Structure 1
Amino acid sequence: MLSPREKEIAAAYTRGDNYQRIAAHFHIAPSTVRTHLATIYRKLGVSSKIELLKALEGEQPKSKSSEEQATLISELALSLEEAISRERALSEVLSIISRASGDVQEVISAVLGYALELCDAQYGILFAFSPEKGFKATYIKEIPLAFQTWLSEQGWFHVNPNTGLGRMASATDIINIADVRMEEIYRHGDPLRDATANLGGARSFTAIPMVSKEGLIGAFTIYRQQLRPFDDKSLQLARIFADQSVIAIENARLVSEIGNGRDK
């Protein structure tokens, strides 16, 4: 049922290769890989990588009703559309970075905007980090006014090591909090957690470290105002956007250094 190319892509996918690796190997776009996989799933009547592997090994898939088939096709179509949207957004962010000429505000605003849209979050903050001064909300997007005012009044501030930002800084790793109101630090009245939950209306929250060659330089945080924890796909997207923010900041720094060199 599969063409030779479809068999090769299916085999690579079941071995654990991701879209990018498969695309690089066959010299095609990642979106083309997704299109092939959608066709493969439809031809074989499978709905998961495990079922795909069994089908490639010769096991006949269990028969599905027409309703189940229709559900499978619709889910695959939606997944494909979401994947293409992510790819387009990332391409647009890279394009903005290349055109920005050191305008960090423009880039970060775009990055945060795409992150909120693709991660289905209400607002986002990019915190700058200094070992001596702590954190400062440097860039914000769609943040509630009361929370924005509170952060502006704080300026640079140090955080409790048990907050999401504190744990992220200590571990230099993603911190994903399912419900900010259920943790003990909220019940103890920590100022940052109190402002996040009560002024920002946040329920689910994730913080992603922004790391350059000098070490931790900030945090990329996104918030949902309903109780809906971020899944692995959302966390992966958020990490990508955090990395793009680091690139934008580093580019701006380089442009500034070049400009200062010309002035001398």
Structure 2
Amino acid sequence: MTYCVGMVLDKGLVLMSDTRTNSGVDNISVFRKMMSWEGPDRIITVMTAGNLATTQAVISQLEERTKTPGERRNTVFDAPTMFQVATEIGRLLHETIDDRQVANGADGRGRFTASMIVAGQIKGMEPRLFLIYPEGNFIEASWDTPFFQIGETKYGRPILIRAYDRTMSFEDAVKLLLVSFDSTLKANLSVGLPLDLMVIERDKFTATHQRRITHEDTYYQAISQGWGEALKNAFTELPDYTFYSGASSENS
């Protein structure tokens, strides 16, 4: 399993993914799930969740690895709009899943599923964010749905819903994502550090900020510890519950 989040702000896009892959408790490894491509007129980032072989096959097809090195041309640079980028990636994902399920017969049903978040901007257009389903269809982020999650989403979702603000700074968005990821890490062993972070500022066709966050990262440690303490403090400050109907907590 994995956890990835893509978020739309007025200022641009903020993306974060974990790197844990596992085929059982005794076979855990680190693998990058965030891929990005930059050109003079665009920046495009893809985050993946699901069967690793499936998602890597899709990325390889995007990068045209079947050609000789001198002839390779990443297809994300040919699409004139982000919508068409998402359409192409959705098509490749659907075809790849179908091919593997057919090749493996009944044993392959459901084993090769995957989903993706596609984010980026092409010059002269708005930054855009898409969630691509295994069937190849997709939805786009909007004012009503300003962020997408894939993978193990349930543990980190409540903090995003409560604290997200489209006008927030990039720095606050990173803080929010770290809290969301920390909550997920604490609750599910299939999601793990290090984390990959990318910030894409509007009309800047290169990553504004990009880094890998490890166990030794002092800021992440401060966020994790501070959030835990803040939750405990908030809990103790909530009104007391009483077993006695009509009695205040002071009289119980």
Structure with greater proportional helix content: 1
How high is the TM-score relative to the length of structure 2?
0.27
Q: Which has the larger radius of gyration?
A: 1
- Return the structure number with greater relative CO, CA threshold 8 A, min gap 6: 2
